[in-house]
Amino acid sequence: MLRALVADLLIDGTAAEPVKAGALTYDSGSIVDVGPVDEIVREGIEVRHFPGGTILPGLTDSHLHLGLDGEGSFEMGMLKDLTSYAAIRAYEYARRDLHSGFTTIRAMADKGFIDVGLQRAIRDGLVKGPRIISSGHMLCITGGRDSYVPGVSFSDNLFEECDGIDGVTRAARRQVKYGVDWIKLGVTGAVSAGEGPPGVQQLTEAEIRAAVVVAHGQGKKVAAHAHGAAGIKAAVRAGVDSIEHGWLADREAVDMMAAAGTYWVPTLAPLHLILLHGVEGGIPPSVVERTRRVQHNMYEVFSYGLRCGVPMVMGTDVGMPYNRHGENAVEFDLMVKAGMLEKDAIVSACSRAAEMFGLEGVIGQLSPGHSADIVVVEGNPLEDIGALARTRFVAKDGWIVRDDGFGE
């Protein structure tokens, strides 16, 4: 059945001008037509009106963790929780993301391949949920992340340790074997976890390239967790598809990303939330101190990245301390406060994310033939980016996830 949505404004997810008094029609999971209401809506169509609202494509969060939900320190839960329990909990977390307007999410390292399992369950119709882009476990060097006691398998934590070109090749192939879409590499140390210095390069350029060869040869992509400038540069030279975080980048590293067209997922929310809640909120002192040290540099290179045209993609790192599923839209506010234009922040979670995933023509844009992934928010996000947190209607592949009934 052909249905129409009508609102004061329609933003198609690209750099195109918004449509005032906009409308779209959709049927059988796909968008049929988009444009001004007087050109789109005709007699016999079921119409849903949202006065004071804005219609957008379903949003994408390109960096989150399905096994975590903002715990001050997650290591103990990682070891205590059964993988089966974590998988069921991941479904609830994904449901929260979907209900807040994020119809596509990219999971960036979880225990036990729970992202791959949930992705398959949704795809096979066993449960309803967002479109999931999976990455399985993050590959890192021995000792590069949290040091669990001997005997703890990689299935019980986020990481798989591997060393040398042969070791990384085997580990990358194992990730592909279990069905991941992306391979995530721990190229440098971390800020939000572990104890080591976050800027130090860990995987060598040759090891990074080995993972890239495996991934690209199988039609997969590679994301590099990288804070320090040397690690970012090595990852770009090795041909990774995205840089995650980049909080200790320098201008040369940013220039290299821009020149290579490497996507940057800056994840500003963890910086803000860790420093907001601090040690008093149960966050380890080492994490708070590392965050304090990197904050100024991150905002400086973020601003530089905007000026030199790095393709930035919205990602929250939901799951890190006090960074919770369903509250993903805080990232938009932080990106705008850091200098990004509202329209560009929206593009970063729509058409640019689709481009990074290779899903142009499927998601990220309100256009005929695209999936009917649709969000309606209260207000105008081009004037108040906070409107993206006021979700009132969500559809994914034409299935109405929520309709709060505002504007009747």
> Contact 187/201 with Cβ under 8 angstroms?
yes
Residue spans of alpha helices (H) in 158-284: 164-177, 205-217, 229-238, 251-260, 269-277
Examine residue 356 and state whether it is found in any structural domain, yes or no: no
Examine residue 70 and state whether it is found in any structural domain, yes or no: yes
| DSSP letters for 329-340 | THHHHHHHHTT-
77 and 133, same domain (yes or no)? yes
Q: What is the pLDDT of residue 194?
A: 65
17 and 125, same domain (yes or no)? no
Residues of the chain below pLDDT 70: 75-77, 146-156, 194-196, 405-408
Name the residue range of residue 22's domain.
3-58+364-403
Could you tell me the CATH number of the domain that includes residue 369?
2.30.40.10
156 and 231, same domain (yes or no)? yes
Q: What is the pLDDT of residue 81?
A: 84
Radius of gyration in angstroms for the set of CA atoms belonging to the chain, rounded to a whole number: 21
| DSSP letters for 56-73 | EEPEEEEEE-TT--S-S-
Residue 320 β-bridge partners: 318
Q: What is the pLDDT of residue 256?
A: 98
Question: Distance between CA 354 and CA 285 in Å, rounded?
Answer: 37
41 and 76, same domain (yes or no)? no
100 and 53, same domain (yes or no)? no
Q: What is the pLDDT of residue 1?
A: 84
Examine residue 358 and state whether it is found in any structural domain, yes or no: no
Residues of the chain with pLDDT > 70, as a percent, come to 94
118 and 17, same domain (yes or no)? no
Q: What is the pLDDT of residue 326?
A: 98
Query: How many other CB atoms are found less than 10 A from the CB of residue 44?
Result: 5
Q: For the chain, what is the domain count?
A: 2
Q: What is the pLDDT of residue 144?
A: 82
8 and 102, same domain (yes or no)? no
Examine residue 82 and state whether it is found in any structural domain, yes or no: yes
**Which of 187, 195, 194, 199 minimizes the C-alpha distance to 294?**
199
71 and 150, same domain (yes or no)? yes
288 and 304, same domain (yes or no)? yes
How much is the pTM?
0.96
Examine residue 124 and state whether it is found in any structural domain, yes or no: yes
201 and 65, same domain (yes or no)? yes
CB under 8 Å to 49, separation ≥6 — which residues?
Answer: 6, 7, 407
Sheet holding 19-27, edge to edge: 30-36, 19-27, 3-10, 46-57, 374-378, 391-396, 399-403
50 and 69, same domain (yes or no)? no
